[in-house]
Amino acid sequence: MKVMFVGLPKSGKSTLYAAVTGKAVDPYAPPEVHQAVVKVPDERLTHLTALCKPKKTIEATIEFYDVPGCSPEDAHGREDWRKFLPIARQAELLVVVVRDFANDAVPAHKDRVDAAADFTAMWDELIFADLDTVTTRVEKLEASLKKPTKTHDAEKRELALLSRCRDALESETPLSSVLTTDDERKLVSSFAFMTQKPIVCVRNVSDDEAGTAEGLPADHVEASLALSASIEAEIAQLEPEDRQLFLDDLGLATPARDRLIQTCYTACGLISFLTMGPDECRAWTIRKGSTAVEAAGKIHTDLAHGFIRGETVAYDDLVANTDMKGAKAAGKVRAEGRSYVVQDGDILNILSSA
């Protein structure tokens, strides 16, 4: 999964990126996109590893991107930001970071601390970016339809859909509400519209609010959470044994990295299933609602082709019965067919003729 941090300048995107990835960003470097792959923390996988002592353990991963800030008020600022849009369009999820902390040393963008207004400003930019794409394409299609071409029917269909998209964007409706069928989404998939992506809103609060603040209520978002990016970036630098003490002091159960990753999973409709054995214990990411044969295909296409059945046990059932042997004895290991809907935390063993 690719996750992109977007927001106004000085909202704390790079600080949050450092907190989540452990990689600091030089604030004086020229604006550029930063990218890092983060292992998804999963206590279940840690426990299975302790149980099986496999040769290797492979965590699920998530890619984070830090995109330079957007200054919509001035034409250059908008143009500069739009240079990064082709990269931002590759994201499956946008994390909009809004500033809600005072810091005299680093004045806020336009000297304003107003998280709700900043979220709206960023949201408008996403709408404008899509509207530009749609308008340009509509004009091209209209011109093309005036000439005799063999592709008229397909062009007419696309034009009808994009005209609906344009109307929606003009009334500030995200394209996720317009493109509701697989056919519609396929027809315009090459545009990778920004307002089609799920959004998580992060309210970046001051250090003293780190343990108490709540997420910003905002329209069009899948989830909202509050954190203090600067304190979380400090926590990320600590040795693991000191980290929990620091978090306890702040009244936090887990670091922002874990909370954010969990929120991204939920916002994208993703879950994890696990595989275990003497060679390898591994966490896999799939869409919620995926079937056993789709999960098999995630591991290897051959496993899906030759699918016979999936031996399945819920993680909690395995733990409650100590190990796989115990779970089997307690009747908790089920044989499931190809259409079984995989649940978060299922431990799967796929039997295949391949």
Ligand X SMILES: Nc1nc2c(ncn2[C@@H]2O[C@H](COP(=O)(O)OP(=O)(O)O)[C@@H](O)[C@H]2O)c(=O)[nH]1
Residue among 70 and 169 whose Cβ is closer to ligand X: 70
Least separation, in Å, of the C-beta of 245 and ligand X? 20
Which of 3, 6, 15, 216 is in the footprint of ligand X by CB under 6 A? 15
**Number of residues in contact with ligand X under rule CB under 6 A:** 19
Beta carbons within 8 Å of 63's beta carbon, 6+ residues apart:
1, 2, 3, 35, 36, 37, 38
Select the span of 146-154, 159-167, 203-211, 237-245 touching ligand X (CB under 6 A). Answer: 203-211
Least separation, in Å, of the C-beta of 106 and ligand X? 4
- The verdict on 13 binding ligand X (CB under 6 A) reads yes
Beta carbons within 8 Å of 187's beta carbon, 6+ residues apart:
157, 158, 161
CA–CA gap between residue 265 and residue 30 (Å, rounded): 31
Which of 3, 6, 11, 179 is in the footprint of ligand X by CB under 6 A? 11
| Residue 294 CB neighbour total at 10 angstroms | 17
Interface map 102-141 toward ligand X (x if CB under 6 A):
-x--x-----------------------------------
| Residue 224 CB neighbour total at 10 angstroms | 19
Beta carbons within 8 Å of 100's beta carbon, 6+ residues apart:
113, 115, 203, 204, 205, 206, 213, 216, 226
Least separation, in Å, of the C-beta of 10 and Mg ion? 8
User: How many contiguous H segments (helices) and E segments (strands) does the chain have?
Assistant: 14, 12
- The verdict on 204 binding Mg ion (CB under 5 A) reads no
The listed partner (Mg ion, ligand X, none) that binds 204, CB under 5 to 8 Å by sort, is ligand X
The listed partner (Mg ion, ligand X, none) that binds 198, CB under 5 to 8 Å by sort, is none
- The verdict on 230 binding Mg ion (CB under 5 A) reads no
- The verdict on 206 binding ligand X (CB under 6 A) reads yes
Radius of gyration, CA atoms only, the chain = 23
Beta carbons within 8 Å of 264's beta carbon, 6+ residues apart:
1, 3, 62, 93, 95, 200, 270
Select the span of 11-19, 128-136, 324-332, 342-350 touching ligand X (CB under 6 A). Answer: 11-19
Name residue 284's beta-bridge partners.
Answer: 273
| Residues 267-296, interacting with ligand X (CB under 6 A) | none
Class of residue 113 by CB neighbours under 10 A (exposed 0-12, middle 13-18, buried 19+): middle
Least separation, in Å, of the C-beta of 29 and ligand X? 10
27 alpha carbon, distance to own chain's centre: 24
Class of residue 173 by CB neighbours under 10 A (exposed 0-12, middle 13-18, buried 19+): middle
Least separation, in Å, of the C-beta of 152 and Mg ion? 47
- Which parts of 67-189 fold into alpha helices (H)? 75-82, 85-88, 115-145, 152-170, 182-187
Which of 9, 41, 54, 72 is in the footprint of ligand X by CB under 6 A? 9
Least separation, in Å, of the C-beta of 213 and ligand X? 10
Which of 3, 7, 8, 14 is in the footprint of Mg ion by CB under 5 A? 14
- The verdict on 69 binding ligand X (CB under 6 A) reads yes
User: Which residue has the CB atom at the shortest distance from Mg ion?
Assistant: 14
Interface map 227-256 toward ligand X (x if CB under 6 A):
-xxx--------------------------
Residue among 113 and 299 whose Cβ is closer to ligand X: 113
Residue in the block written with tokens 């063999």: 150
The listed partner (ligand X, Mg ion, none) that binds 206, CB under 5 to 8 Å by sort, is ligand X
| Residues 70-99, interacting with ligand X (CB under 6 A) | none
Side-chain-side CA neighbours of 46 within 13 Å: the count stands at: 5
Residues that bind ligand X (CB under 6 A): 7, 9-15, 27, 69, 101, 103, 106, 204, 206-207, 228-230
Residues that bind Mg ion (CB under 5 A): 13-14
